[in-house]
Structure 1
Amino acid sequence: MFGNLFSRTQKKDEIPPQDFSVLNTDMHSHLIPGIDDGAKTLEESLELVRGLIKLGFSGAITTPHVMGDYYPNNGAIISSGCITLQEAIRREGLNFRLEASAEYNIDSYTAELFEQGDILFMPGKRILVELSFFAPPPDLENRIFQLRIKGYYPILAHPERYSYYMGSRSDIERICDLGCDLQVNILSLAGYYGNSIAKWAKTLVEAGMVSYLGTDMHHIRHLKALEDALKHKDILRLLQRYSFKNKDLFNE
């Protein structure tokens, strides 16, 4: 069994964190300007980076969409945009480490990229994948299995937001058993997408099934919502009680 569903450790009672610094690294965002539905300009990208610093993050692995029908990005496009943003961060004198991977939609376009080896990995050959919001791909289990056979470690983005998995622990456990980690959006926990999604997201975290938290930040509205999320005592308690793998990403 590839998964390690219940390996999250619960921390001893202590003073809850006041920001997201315990995570250290954000591993899901859309900061590179002009290549997906995230930041539109370099100035907006820098404002989002400043916001992440204020929220307590010391770095990010930004993950623009790779989606054949809408955002047919590839490694070259993403890497070029990342370099531009890295240079701007240095010019601004910001103490923030930025690297790039991608949020790969499970579709025929990404399947071809994977076959070509055109993949921008996170450390440890981790790869963030997302599904359609309408229905899971019929070959999802095989796609995850094939990634694992090749030595890649898939992370499923925001499983709490897929309505067809809502409330189904067995479906989520099956995905984890195939060797796929889970990443939940902080905004989901804060109720940004609705109360039912917030409840389901907290259930997954409290069940010890979630390895990563991410901002999934696209724009200034998300930044403001993340600032408001720090007012949620239940989110701060989750950061206190459960250990997430974000903090180890840049240490591998």
Structure 2
Amino acid sequence: MGVSTSRPEPGIAVVTMDFPPVNALPVQGWYALADAVRTAGRDPGVRCVVLAAEGRGFNAGVDIKELQRDAAGGGRQALLGANRGCAEAFSAVYECAVPVVAAVHGFCLGGGIGLVGNADAIVASDEAVFGLPELDRGALGAATHLARLVPQHLMRALYYTSRTATAAELRAHGSVWRVVPRDRLGAAARELAGEIARKDGSLLRLAKAALNGIDPVDVHRSYRFEQGFTFEANLSGVADRVRDTFGQEART
């Protein structure tokens, strides 16, 4: 349980999330993930990082129960920690010195979109779904990253409705490199990572920096802007009201 790193092949580091039951990461989990990705990228022997997960799905976002427990005691440290931790993890993927391939299975929701939206490439299983249920969870954010996966109007419709898009739909929009059966996901992700890792390591690092430098959207500033509205929702009490409804639904 937690975040682990393995080296299945020369030049490839696999960073794996494992937070049962649904990979909803607690505050410290986001920071641990950020540290693992940054550490892998700094290793001169690594030329590509694969971001993967164990369990039922890739990522279900932040641990809502952790936020609720803190809020029940009158605290907001969990909220602040989750927002900062998510920003750190998203930035770690984007700023990783080498390309990052996301291997997505099951559900990729909320913070999961922030991770894959900042990755360099995505390989997904044929049952994977992607979405931002933020409005159902008393939060806002990661539209910055969903907009990197689908066109603007589809992003807005998905955001407002909290609906999900399939891996096949994202492949049709060009944001998913390959869709494979679940039991082939790890191999397919490592296959792409291996092709990347055969390039010169120094040149790959220059290429990653160059591509980030010509990005049309500053993902850090854009996401930080979104986070401001999350804080406003919390200060106004709207977020707690919606989260409490989510908690009731989860118990029924």
User: TM exceeds 0.5?
Assistant: no
TM-score normalised over the length of structure 1 = 0.31
TM-score normalised over the length of structure 2 = 0.31
Which protein has greater RCO, CA pairs closer than 8 Å, 6+ apart? 1
